[in-house]
Structure 1
């Protein structure tokens, strides 16, 4: 494929979390091929490359989380994207969300460039309980359906997402699955343990329970704290790596429950902290294929995860999964590993066995898929 291959992607701004981390990996893979990558956002991404070109959609709104901002963005972004795609003669629209795929419809019609859409998660009715109105849910669902309809190729990151896509009424679409991956790490766990204890000023006999991710309602962290509060030990220390709007309420709850909780905020050294901990817990209501769990697996941590479909695809052992919102069950599971080194080791070995399925060259598969879609496009002939 010629080195002048030109790709366009769209996402409103870079922010912490697995979504943007994976988006950056995709962009990096394209750049490593010598391809030219253009992106549309309301502010520059925090990484640069000679072949990476930002196209900034200016906005009068400083707060990018308001309804007025999103009305503005959704009204202008499709036409701005179409103009940039036409001007830069892009050969592929590579998008990380069905909603953003919908916004690319004018660009696809104007340029004839194929639309490759990666789907990491879908909206579900569960999100009603997380502060979303039914009207917003219906709009998002319609945009997802439109995104499926106009995409030339769909790639889901889990079997569960593929099943959900079928519910949108597009069962004839060819949907491929590309799991998120992890890299093999060479870790000295004893040294990392010493470093973590020193970093957070903890005692040597502390039992460190860790989780990572956004502090938002669907992560189910209030239930997590309540479960740990009933654990039969005063040696348990929670380490919550991440940030989000629930930080204050979680801090208040931790104080009320008299829990030892360390709120670290976002850390660039997550893969240094995780190996020094004893147990990873992921209680989320709703996920794509979780980068947080995969990172914990890469570090050899035994994992306890909520029993939702996406997590079942990662953690195969039923004994390591607990029903969402059943704090008492999670309490019993933590007590079980806290008082049994044998059970903790069984869970660790099971997690290590599970991670083998996710060790592969993700970037290579991303490139192969892009080349396939471009080659198949009528524009290439």
Structure 2
């Protein structure tokens, strides 16, 4: 009989964490997986079901919906998991303060990001207060692990690292789609800059838009594709109202054809202020795109000066300089493309991560 792993998350919407789960869990076939969503099933729920991973939705209205806790407890007792992995703040909180205490199940938070922003003060406080309720953690990068060791006070030996993984072969098979280019109004010879990220303040889009405006004044033959949605969309559109480049900035929203969009682009830019381990960067690397992104510890785990252009955080001028340098140097773009593809293939291919994750789950269950 297979060991049973229960995964607790607010919803399996189309985000980095959820897509990581969708890529990885079906490959861990030595275990039986069940996902419990707290709020709603989510955009990716049908894809999980197609891969024979059931989704159980609790339908929690808010944290004070006490009946939802009874439903959650009932499902946990019915499924009798060997281990419970929680993802993101809401599920982490309920996993530790409710399931860990009431059921005595082994709760393993899967840490996905650092909380290096003032808006996350509550989350940081929660992590410090509840750290003694958790015996083991999983982190998706060395930077996230270091954050929890240095800022939260978690012992480093209690955190195991499982990086995000990418199906490199899948991205290598994608071909340029001329119909997509026509749909987006991309003209022949136009240079395409793409950014894939939720429109949140920590992703730094405001600096990318300024950088694009600077470059556009010298090179109007460029177009910026912003893939993703979020609370900052209104502010970002307002920001470019008086920009000469505004008609060359496309807000594409959430898309199901991101691999195809990457394939018709010339460079990938992510001006993020902090990360865990960026799925978007890894997907762009697997797509053979030269990368320009912020010089932060999280990105340094997969990037360096030999496979990317790194620029200062919150600095539109430096961002603009690096973008211009890449666009004007096709030989460099080719070198960075090959180097980043080699990095992702040799270190972060999904099959490499699968083996590490499977071995870790075995150890955690046996402890």
Normalised by the length of structure 1, the TM-score is 0.83
Alignment correspondent of 1:220: 204
TM alignment of 1:15-164, pairs within 5 A: 15-29=13-27, 32-33=29-30, 35-45=32-42, 46-47=45-46, 48=49, 52-59=54-61, 69=62, 71-72=63-64, 81-97=72-88, 100-105=91-96, 106-124=98-116, 127-128=117-118, 132=119, 137-164=120-147
| SS of structure 2 residue aligned to 1:192 | coil
For structure 2, list consecutive stretches of 5 or more residues without a partner in the other structure: none
TM alignment of 1:166-177, pairs within 5 A: 166-167=149-150, 168-171=152-155, 173-177=157-161
Checking the alignment, whether the CA contact within 8 Å between 2:84 and 2:107 is kept in structure 1 is yes
Q: Which among 333, 341, 346 is matched to residue 330 of structure 2?
A: 341
Checking the alignment, whether the CA contact within 8 Å between 1:99 and 1:147 is kept in structure 2 is no
Checking the alignment, whether the CA contact within 8 Å between 1:121 and 1:161 is kept in structure 2 is yes
Partners of 2:327 and 2:156 lie apart in 1 by: 49
How much is the aligned-residue C-alpha RMSD, in angstroms? Answer: 2.5
Q: Residues 351, 82 of structure 1: CA spacing in aligned structure 2 closer, same or farther, 3 A cutoff?
A: same
Q: Residues 12, 345 of structure 1: CA spacing in aligned structure 2 closer, same or farther, 3 A cutoff?
A: same
TM alignment of 1:221-240, pairs within 5 A: 221-231=205-215, 232-240=218-226
Q: Which among 191, 194, 217 is matched to residue 178 of structure 2?
A: 194
Q: More deviation in 362-371 or 322-331?
A: 362-371
1:161 Cα deviation after fit: 0.9
In the alignment, does 2:12 pair up with 1:10?
A: no
Q: Which among 353, 357, 371 is matched to residue 362 of structure 2?
A: 371
Q: Residues 221, 110 of structure 1: CA spacing in aligned structure 2 closer, same or farther, 3 A cutoff?
A: same
Checking the alignment, whether the CA contact within 8 Å between 1:317 and 1:350 is kept in structure 2 is no
Q: Residues 76, 216 of structure 1: CA spacing in aligned structure 2 closer, same or farther, 3 A cutoff?
A: farther
Checking the alignment, whether the CA contact within 8 Å between 1:6 and 1:38 is kept in structure 2 is no
Checking the alignment, whether the CA contact within 8 Å between 1:95 and 1:117 is kept in structure 2 is yes
Q: Which among 272, 289, 302 is matched to residue 284 of structure 1?
A: 272
What are the Cα deviations for residues 138-189 of structure 1, in whole angstroms up to 9, with x where unaligned? 4322322355433332221111111111121122542221111112236477
Checking the alignment, whether the CA contact within 8 Å between 2:168 and 2:350 is kept in structure 1 is no
Alignment correspondent of 1:297: 285
Normalised by the length of structure 2, the TM-score is 0.86
